[in-house]
Structure 1
Amino acid sequence: MHKPPRPGAIIRDEVLAPLNLSIAEAADRLVMSRDALSRVVSGETGISAELALRLEQAGVSTARAWLSMHANYDLWCAMQQEQPPVRALEDGLSKQRPNSARIANITPDNLHGEIDFGPEVGREVWEG
């Protein structure tokens, strides 16, 4: 995986610069403080769900696209760090709970309602 662009840099270089918008003007249009937008653009903080929705409402891509960019950037950064050894959560779980295999197959494509995991899956995980 190559280093994805930081979402704040995309806002600065691909949105504000071509439109000749200052951070103050863009923040005003997005109904947020100049300092908050400046922190995003400078990379001090990431794209929140609220900012992603405001960018979508302002006509700049979709909220899901902004959150996906942010998640990809965060994941890349985490992958650059040494990770501790992790053990599988499902050791012996599938024998005790037959629906646990469905939980292991959760992907972004089936988290949007396309697949019905059934009411027992959530209950099984949280009440287990």
Structure 2
Amino acid sequence: MNSSANIQGQQNRKPATSCVRAVAAKLDVAHSTFARVVSGRSSVTPDMAIRLSKVLGGSPESWLQMQVNHDLWVARQQEPHDELVAFEFA
């Protein structure tokens, strides 16, 4: 990466970092906690879903469903289980 791209990347991170800190404060969680959720390193928990709903809108169920949809997509990418066959009930 050239130095001008690196400087611009650093400048672009400042507003994003400020936004994460501001939202984290509204959620009443540590900024590192919210940053992990935003980056995908942590999942949306039921408690976080309630907080997100109150601060950002949407229902807690919608936040949890987005997490489940993401988790399922990741699981399908990592291991599609093509070797499995349907069980035949008698």
> Structure 2 length as normaliser, TM-score?
0.66
**How many residue pairs were aligned?**
72
CA-CA distance at 1:85 after TM superposition: 3.0
Tell me which residue corresponds to 2:48. Answer: 51
Q: Which amino acid aligns with 1:41?
A: V
Matching of residues 79-90 of structure 1 within 5 Å: 79-82=76-79, 83=81, 85=84, 88=87
**Structure 1 residue 25 and structure 2 residue 49: aligned?**
no
Q: Tell me which structure has the larger Cα radius of gyration.
A: 1
How much has 1:69 moved relative to structure 2?
0.7
* Residue 41 (structure 1) shift: 0.8
CA distance in 2, matches of 1:46, 1:86: 30
Name the aligned partner's letter for residue 46 of structure 1: S
Aligned to 1:8: none
- Structure 1: gaps (5+ residues): 1-16, 93-128
1:77 and 1:91 map into 2 onto residues whose CA distance is 30
Counting aligned pairs with the same residue, the percent is: 33
Q: Which runs of 5+ in 2 are unaligned?
A: 1-15
Q: Which runs of 4+ in 1 moved over 6 A?
A: none
Higher helix share: 2
TM-score by length of 1: 0.48
Q: CA offset at residue 53 of structure 1? A: 0.3
Q: Equivalents in 1 of 2:56, 2:39: separation in Å?
A: 22
Q: Deviations over 1:3-41 (max 9, x none)?
A: xxxxxxxxxxxxxx7xxx611111111010111001011
